[in-house]
């Protein structure tokens, strides 16, 4: 359906599905963390800024939405985006000094396959996973967008 993730993000933000002030491709996070990467050898007291780029941030009246986008569903990609939205939300809340109740985490998928439609085994498992971490799943519909699970 969408040729690129950027095309999906633009289509979604233009749709007005979630109202508020829209920001795309924003860097979040100002938390200093200890660097402990296998590929990089640094002194134990070395610090590096921990930041991420968020696909979409929507600041609405009662909460801020942290949305990570993927143009299509794949198991590996979905696993990665779940972690991505959790980290992005944490960094955003830390930077803005917000509580968890002041943000909503969401994943925007540009394409969802029929076996992930509501009521199927895959959708039920997906819903359990997303509900556990309080993540919403948004997909295209005939009239714009809709929430599928979470």
**What is the CB neighbour count within 10 angstroms for residue 34?**
11
Instruction: State yes or no: pLDDT of 30 exceeds 60.
Output: yes
Cβ pair 74, 113 in contact under 8 A = no
Could you tell me the CATH number of the domain that includes residue 117? 3.40.1350.10
Residue 52 forms part of a structural domain: yes
Predicted confidence (pLDDT) per residue in 66-83, tens digit: 999 998 877 777 888 999
pTM of the model: 0.82
Structural domain for 62, as ranges: 8-149
Distance CA(63)–CA(43), nearest Å, equals 40
3-state helix, strand, coil in the chain (%, to 5): 35, 35, 30
Instruction: State yes or no: pLDDT of 32 exceeds 70.
Output: no
Instruction: State yes or no: pLDDT of 35 exceeds 80.
Output: no
Please state the domain count of the chain. 1
Residue 2 forms part of a structural domain: no
Predicted confidence (pLDDT) per residue in 115-143, tens digit: 555 555 466 778 888 999 999 999 998 88
Sheet holding 144-149, edge to edge: 21-34, 47-59, 64-70, 103-109, 135-141, 144-149
Cβ pair 138, 17 in contact under 8 A = yes
Residue 1 forms part of a structural domain: no
Q: What percent of the chain has pLDDT over 70?
A: 78
71-75, 97-101, 104-108, 120-124, range with the lowest pLDDT: 120-124
Q: How far is CA 58 from CA 26, 105, 115, 116, 118, in A?
A: 11, 11, 30, 26, 26
Residue 94 forms part of a structural domain: yes
């Amino acid at each position: 359906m969408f040729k690129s993730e950027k095309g999906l993000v633009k289509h979604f933000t233009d749709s007005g599905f979630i109202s508020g002030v829209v920001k795309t491709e924003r860097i979040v996070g100002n938390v200093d963390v200890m660097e402990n990467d296998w590929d990089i050898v640094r002194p134990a007291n070395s610090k590096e800024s921990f930041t991420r780029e968020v696909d979409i941030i929507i600041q609405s009246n009662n909460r801020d939405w942290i949305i990570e986008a993927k143009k299509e569903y794949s198991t590996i990609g979905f696993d990665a985006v779940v972690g991505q939205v959790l980290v992005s939300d944490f960094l955003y809340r830390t930077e803005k000094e917000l509580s968890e109740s002041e943000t909503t985490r969401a994943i925007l998928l540009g394409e969802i396959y029929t076996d992930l439609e509501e009521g199927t085994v895959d959708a039920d498992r997906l819903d359990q996973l997303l509900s556990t971490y309080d993540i919403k799943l948004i997909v295209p519909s005939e009239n714009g967008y809709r929430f599928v699970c979470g």
